[in-house]
Amino acid sequence: MSEIEERKFGELTVRIDRLICVGFGDCIELDPTPFEFDDEGIAIFRNGAATVDESAVVEACRSCPVDALTVLDPDGTQIVP
Ligand code: SF4
């Protein structure tokens, strides 16, 4: 598994920096549709979660206390963090 995981959710691109993630779980608590923990307690994308509520994903990414989650808008502009 790579250190940076990237996935498209609708118009948004979301990245998980798995080296920064420390497994607090705030993102998963807020929106468990796109995220889950791997066996080591680090966030990964949940398989088959291509269709999600985009605003919920943005809120979940904003909740990360260590800024491990990045969101880009359709123009490639970073909107989180
Ligand atoms: S909120 Fe941040 S630190 Fe916590 S599990 Fe999600 S990505 Fe990892």
Residue bearing the CA closest to ligand 1, atom 2: 64
Q: Which domain holds residue 25?
A: 4-73
DSSP helix/strand/coil, 38: coil
Residue 31: count of CB within 10 angstroms of its CB: 20
> pLDDT by residue (tens digit) across 7-38?
999 899 999 999 999 999 999 999 999 999 99
Indicate whether 78 belongs to any domain.
Answer: no
> pLDDT by residue (tens digit) across 22-79?
999 999 999 999 999 999 999 999 987 666 899 999 999 999 999 999 999 999 999 9
Would you state the torsion angle of the CA atoms of residues 36, 73, 22, 26, taken in this order, to the nearest 10 degrees? -60
56: CATH: 3.30.70.20
**Ligand 1 centroid distance, CA of 75 (Å):** 25
* Distance separating alpha carbons of residues 47 and 35, to the nearest angstrom: 9
- On the question of a cis peptide bond just before residue 74, with omega within 30 degrees of 0, the verdict is no
Q: How many domains does the chain have?
A: 1
Residue bearing the CA closest to ligand 1, atom 3: 21
